[in-house]
Amino acid sequence: MEQMMRLLEFNYFVVIDFEATCDKDKSPNLQEIIEFPSVLVNSMNNQIESSFQTYVRPIFHQHLTNFCKDLTGIPQEQVDKGVPLSEALLMHDKWLEDMGIKKTNFAVVTWGEWDCSTMLESEVVSSGLGNLIALIGG
């Protein structure tokens, strides 16, 4: 019950589930985000109020493996037309701002620690975007 009460302290949950470059037999030395999807869930009624989605163009592993395309369902053409990660972060921040979320009490939620703690953090550091990491959560 206590854990449930703590969850109710948040007005919204920003749910993120990145997709990244990958290979069947080995992961690339540096995986890169190729899809940046996010949904906004109202904690009072558990309804999705809005969604954000953009494809991200990788820098180091520009050509997706067949395994990656099959696993994620993302075709090469989508990432070729994608935006740089820095732009995706700014677009996500603007979406949060436009939705009025940054003025509320909200939490960023992921499927696991991989999305933000591993994937996003390592990519912004390797890309020199450390100053933009705060944009993920407002």
Q: Residue 30: its pLDDT value, please?
A: 76
Q: What is the pLDDT of residues 64-85, one digit of tens each?
A: 999 999 999 999 999 999 999 9
The residue ranges of every structural domain in the chain are: 2-137
Q: Residue 130: its pLDDT value, please?
A: 56
Residues in the chain where the model's pLDDT stays below 70: 1-8, 26-29, 112-138
CATH architecture group of domain 2-137: 2-Layer Sandwich (3.30)
**Measured distance CA(103)–CA(124) in Å, rounded:** 25
Cβ-contact 91, 54 below 8 angstroms: yes
**Measured distance CA(23)–CA(44) in Å, rounded:** 40
The dihedral over CA atoms of 34, 138, 119, 37, expressed in degrees to the nearest 10, equals: -30
